[in-house]
Chains A and B, each alone.
Chain A
């Protein structure tokens, strides 16, 4: 019965190095949560159920780390004739199609780890906050090239609101 949502065609994948950003992100999150949990545990005078919290934390972030490569591979984009299609997520899968003429703004962002790995994130803003589309982990040159191409496409297909 279980069927996976998909649409026909070939997806472009993001850089394999993007996995490291997901992993580092998870580790930072884990360290931060661990600090909070330890603080709470200390505040409750090291009660026995503190161990359960730590265990839950380890299991949760363990799963995240194991799934990280799949999550990175699940991100795909495709440039069709008139719109850009994006796919994200494994368990919660989401596919969005944004017509080129609807792009109001295209952002290129680089965090510290991205810069070290030579990656960039592309973010698209439309007049709707529901669109919420971004392609993380693109090689920097490709991201710049893609941005220029998308801006040119948006210009030729410009529509009002």
Chain B
């Protein structure tokens, strides 16, 4: 296999035109077939032609234009294929010294770059159609709205290897830049830029030898010690046990009741909706099935999907907030879900929810295995301790989290004892929730800003609220109630440590 990250321009998988045009091709074939079906049945069964008078295909056949029509369809398909072939020829990518570049477009040329030091993660996606051809789409995630780079399609094995190489180079570029900044504050950029190519060439050769063996593609074949696999039964349970199900059950019961009373017309009206809702379940299951989480040198690896599979790698330094939560209905089973905030996946995108999930459902032990992967800077034992204090809260145990004053009872009658914060290394942990329990971690080096606020009721009770702002996502880290002076202190601590840790982080 040739090395795709050697700094030269490369083309995509030769089957790309077919894979990208595949949907269009299938659609055309389906239309032609649907129209021909009657005709075929007619030919085979010798049914007198009469029902299909308005059908375009039978019209064509009756006028004897069959040959011309076939030629037309063929010419159209030829044009489409030629067009896709041309776009394939014009699409090239290159892994340079400081950026991954993609140039594409036939009429409107486009040149897109993802700077290696700004990469937020690299994902490999395989649709069912692409899997048949052994192809995969490589997605390079960078911060910004719709700024991601899609390399579609590559050989599966090549995509996997390229991902490792890009992540490895990205890691080194960041380290080299930090070193250069430390050594020569004046000529930082120039030094890093000129020193890189020679170095990288040697490293790339070494890596090429290292990775000549085909990469493991199957999500099941990841490093065994740190793997968490989501059992299908548990996944189904977690999907079914949601407030949405209660609505569905209520709907079905009401339907049954009405039918017993003789209102059969309702069946016709409501049953399609109910089936639609069930497809929602199966879609969610298909997407999250065979879910695995594992650690690698480049970051957390997440693999999922039944038919269309994806495998994502999230470098640990690109995680802005981690939320562990337990909805009320999961509590009897002791299940938890882990979500993260990260740049490059805005909240306005439809797949935001999907993209934020790291562990769709897992036991406390699974959580204990995944959390250290997401927060490598914090000691695993402390994370465990905090997680236990969240899951098995007891009034007599020594307090690990800060306590809100008694006055908070008026605003949060049940949850007030649970609202609190704690520090784990360079990470702040915020606990809250009585009905839906949650524990949120924010690495202080990733904090964007800190706010403290006080409304009239909070003022009257001598309380305040503290919010930690990270990049947008599903998690909004905040402390709903804290004593006034404690809140002011926390605000000062968070603000100053955020500055300190961010500057230390930038220096490597």
Contact = CB atoms under 8 A, between A and B. Distances in A.
Given A5-B488, A130-B467, A158-B506, A97 B450 contact: yes
A5 B460 CA distance: 11
Interface string B469-487: 1111000100000001001
Contact of A5 (B448, B464, B498, B506): B464
Given A130-B467, A161-B320, A91 B456 contact: yes
A141 B428 CA distance: 40
Interface string A121-155: 00000111111010000000000000000000000
Contact of A99 (B464, B471, B499): B499
A95 B453 contact: yes
A60 B112 CA distance: 53
Given A3-B459, A5-B464, A128-B471, A160 B499 contact: no
Nearest to B478: A130
A39 interface: no
B496 A82 contact: yes
A39 B77 CA distance: 61
Contacts of A161: 120, 143, 318, 320, 343, 446, 471
Contact of B452 (A2, A4, A95, A157): A95
Given A82-B496, A95-B453, A130 B502 contact: no
B420 to A, nearest CB: 19
A128 B448 contact: yes
Interface string B435-460: 00000000000111111111110011
B425 to A, nearest CB: 19
Interface string B371-390: 00000000000000000000
Contacts of B450: 96-97
A85 B456 CA distance: 22
Contacts of B117: 160
Contacts of B460: 1-2
B461 interface: yes
B290 interface: no
Interface in A1-34: 1-7
Interface string A81-123: 0110100000111111111011000000000000000000000
A58 interface: no
B503 interface: yes
Nearest to B347: A129
Contacts of B506: 101, 158-160
A94 B499 contact: no
Contact of A131 (B446, B462, B469, B498): B469
B454 A127 contact: no
Contact of B449 (A3, A5, A82, A130): A130
Contacts of A4: 454, 459
Nearest to B185: A156
Report whether over half of chain A's contact residues are helix, strand or loop; otherwise say mixed: loop
B89 interface: no
A91 B455 contact: yes
B476 A130 contact: yes
Contact of A7 (B320, B459, B488): B488
Nearest to A92: B455
A91 B451 CA distance: 16
A102 B496 CA distance: 13
Nearest to A160: B506
Contacts of A129: 472
Contacts of B503: 101, 157, 159
Contacts of A91: 455-456
B434 interface: no
B448 A131 contact: yes
Nearest to B455: A92
Contacts of B318: 161
A34 to B, nearest CB: 27
Given A97-B491, A127-B343, A128-B469, A5 B452 contact: yes
B471 A127 contact: yes
A106 B452 CA distance: 22
A76 to B, nearest CB: 14
Contacts of B216: none
Given A2-B459, A82-B499, A129-B472, A102 B454 contact: no
Count chain B CB atoms within 10 A of each CB in A127, A133, A157 and give the residue with the most: A127
Contacts of B343: 127, 161
Nearest to B458: A5
Nearest to B495: A97
B3 to A, nearest CB: 28
B308 to A, nearest CB: 29
Contacts of B467: 130
A102 to B, nearest CB: 5
Interface in B365-407: none
A70 B471 CA distance: 33
Given A97-B450, A101-B503, A126 B469 contact: yes
Contacts of A93: 453-455, 459
A102 B449 contact: yes
Contacts of B496: 82
B258 interface: no
Interface string B285-322: 00000000000000000000000000000000010100
B453 A94 contact: yes
B492 interface: yes
B437 to A, nearest CB: 23
B469 A130 contact: yes
B315 to A, nearest CB: 11
A52 to B, nearest CB: 25
13 contacts: A3-B459, A3-B462, A5-B454, A7-B492, A93-B454, A94-B452, A96-B450, A97-B450, A99-B495, A130-B451, A131-B451, A159-B506, A161-B120
Given A128-B471, A128-B472, A130-B448, 7 more contacts: A5-B484, A96-B449, A126-B449, A127-B471, A130-B467, A130-B469, A159-B502
Interface of B: 117-118, 120, 143, 318, 320, 343, 446-456, 459-462, 464, 467, 469-472, 476, 484, 487-488, 491-492, 495-496, 498-499, 502-503, 505-506
